[in-house]
Amino acid sequence: MNIDLKKIASGFILMIGIILFFISIANNNFNFSLISLTSMLIFWVLYSLILNIFDVKIFAYITSISGFLVFFSVLFMFGIEEVPFPMGAVVFHSSGIAASLAIGFFSLFPIIILYQMSPEKSPQHHKEESLLVEETPDSDSELENNDWEIATEDDLYSGEFEIG
């Protein structure tokens, strides 16, 4: 199978799951929306692993986006409620807001882990580069001259030596 066709089919799986999620949310069926979103993720991962096109970066982004979709769904379905009287009044439910904030917080983890694993942001990568720069010898350096001999303790305390 062509690699472009594999990726198109992979995107098609994701689009079907997201469309089913939005249709279910529009019908106030939160349980079915979670089922469609989770099953979409499972089918997408299995499809990607079977066809050997799985990418951890894409998985992290899709997981975070799915988490944020659930975050907004929980917030607007269980955290904020419009009441009929007085007209236009809104009631905030602390349990729904707390649950949605927890979901949003945990949805940040894949992006944060991805950010920390990137080579340009890694502090170890910079340390390795600086060590490599320090270890490269300069070919015109006087210290590479073979005329030098190792100094003894008597030479160090005698004061009769040249500083190179």
9-31 mean pLDDT: 95
9-21 mean pLDDT: 95
The tens digit of pLDDT for each residue in 119-145 reads 876 555 555 555 555 555 555 555 566
The tens digit of pLDDT for each residue in 66-109 reads 999 999 999 999 999 988 888 889 999 999 999 999 999 999 99
pLDDT, position 123: 57
Q: Model's pTM, two decimal places?
A: 0.69
Q: List the structure tokens of 37.
A: 């979103």
DSSP assignment string, the chain = --HHHHHHHHHHHHHHHHHHHHHHHHTT-HHHHHHHHHHHHHHHHHHHHHTT---HHHHHHHHHHHHHHHHHHHIIIIIEEEESSSTTEEEE-HHHHHHHHHHHHHHTHHHHHHHHHSTTT-HHHHHHHHHHHHHSPPTT-GGG-TT-----HHHHHH------
Where exactly are the structural domains of the chain?
Answer: 1-53, 55-119
